[in-house]
Amino acid sequence: MIDRPNAHDRDGFTLIEILIVVTIMGVIAAAISVAFTVVMRTAPPTEARADDARSLLGISTWLPADVSATPNAPLTAATDFWDDAPGRTSGCTGTDPGTNLIRLSWRESISGSPNIYVANYRLVDEGDSSKIVRVTCVNGGTPKTQKLTAGLPLSGTNPTQVTWKTDLVDGVDHIIGVELELRTFEGDTLRVDAASRNPAQTLSTLPQAATTTTAAPTTTTSTTTTTIPNQPPTAGPLDFNANPSVPVTFTLPVNDPEGEALTVTLTNVPATFTSSVSGVDVTLTPDNVNATHVIDYTVTDPGGLSASSTITVKVNPSSTTTTTLPPNDPPTASPVTVAADPGVKVGVNLPVFDPNSDQLTVTLGTLPDGWTAQVVTLDAGTTSIDVEITPAATASPGISTIDYTVTDPDGATASSTIDVDVSRIPCVASIQSVSPNPVSVSGGNGKQAGPLVEDVEVTINKSGNCSELVLRYIRVVDAPNGQASSDDRQPQVDTFGDGIVITLLSSSVERWQKGNRPLELVEFAGLPEEIVHDSETLVVE
């Protein structure tokens, strides 16, 4: 018998089954391709935004401070202080790499001796990208180099642009600031503006100056300096027993608030005693008579202020062989608070005191990550101690506490704290949009100014501590007939407060001349005002 073929016993696939398998595989491949494309297109912009923020932070931390110190200079003599010639070296070593972007120079008078400072911003190629570095030196000495930005396009593609800000000073064009633009690999433009606050060629720095506050527009800067008044020293009584005819050396319990060296004068010393003075240390050799003697002493600081007290010496009987000096008194330490900016060194005078006028040493506790500190003893033999603390450039706003301990030569200690209030991160802000495009009512009869047709919203981007950020612009306040005159154009300031949007109202009071109106973002948190962003133009139709 011949077996019939079974319908389920066959080799291979039908055409329909093959088409179904191919279709499923195509759908899977397309999904993988879409996912890969999303990842590839999403990651670089995120990374680029992080690099942009780091670049803006690095430039905005240093450039405004350097430009602020650079004096206003006539265009005819600008290269003495401002120079953007690409071939210019820093003036420190003469062999600095890369291309010169901005070379700034200024002089500061330290105790009457002028020092020449140079800050040179240069574009240096590194592999397939470039970075902006800051090269600095004092009096042509050893240069220091800092990298300020993330990777930028190579220098041959001109990723940077420098624009001098100028104004008339006494009828002569002066450079009063600078604008630095950076172009990223993504084609975005980052911009930092800085203005000069130095009206003279030499900044004066007084050793005893407390604070210097500058408050004035760029072209009329004024400076007020407050000097700390001299404080008198203090002196305390001292009592001890001494053996007859045996020299005794001791330290007077005195202190000077400024840590200055004191002069000691002894009076009423018995004629049968011998005495000598070295600093605030006194050596007495009593006679051999069992008695109690009171000696007066006075300490005087370099400013002529003084304090007085007594030394009481009880001479033991000749059979006594013990000299009894006062016991060692431990030092004292108090808490102190100081304000600081990220990445900027600040000096702290520790409020410490040693009753025996011993020289103290100080030990700092653990510092926050990225912070540095060093201890400076101002004058040997005193208890005046300074600590210099530099917060990390990326330090967040808030108070960081650092423990410290002072120790005297006998091992006695006192401990307290330093609170560093990092209250300010450089403001980075820009105008994001002006919407809708302003339209001004035309009054006819040759009238060139009128109210806005509708309200206009100005929106900004900002990061960091943008305190009291305002929008400054020019509007026409009175032009009923004909074209507005210069007297009719008045500066206006509107504050953003904590927000990012300001509305320019379309009221009859707000009159706008047709044409371009410059907009500036200005920060009033510090003195003087700081122009954060001033390149936008409001076009009124």
Up-side HSE of residue 236: CA atoms within 13 Å toward CB?
14
Specify the pairing of strand 238-242 against strand 306-315: parallel
CA distance 165 to 183: 20
Q: What angle do CA 432, 470, 175 make, to 5 degrees?
A: 90
Tokens of 90: 């820093």
What is the predicted pLDDT for the residue at 425? 60
- Where the chain has pLDDT below 50, the residues are 1-9, 38-47, 110-113, 201-227, 379-381, 444-447, 508-509, 525-530, 534-535, 541
CATH fit for domain 234-315, picks 2.60.40.10, 3.90.1150.10, 1.10.3470.10, 1.10.3720.10: 2.60.40.10
pLDDT per residue as tens digits for the range 144-163: 888 888 788 888 888 888 88
The CATH number that domain 428-540 falls under is: 2.60.40
Domain 332-422 fold: Immunoglobulin-like (2.60.40)
Instruction: Give the domain ranges of the chain.
Output: 54-195, 234-315, 332-422, 428-540
Tokens of 313: 């010496």
Contact 72, 106 (CB under 8 A): no
What is the predicted pLDDT for the residue at 43? 40
What is the predicted pLDDT for the residue at 426? 62
pLDDT per residue as tens digits for the range 286-333: 988 888 899 999 999 888 889 999 999 988 877 555 656 667 788 888
What is the predicted pLDDT for the residue at 312? 92
CA distance 266 to 273: 12
CA distance 201 to 183: 33
- For 376, the 3-state DSSP assignment is strand
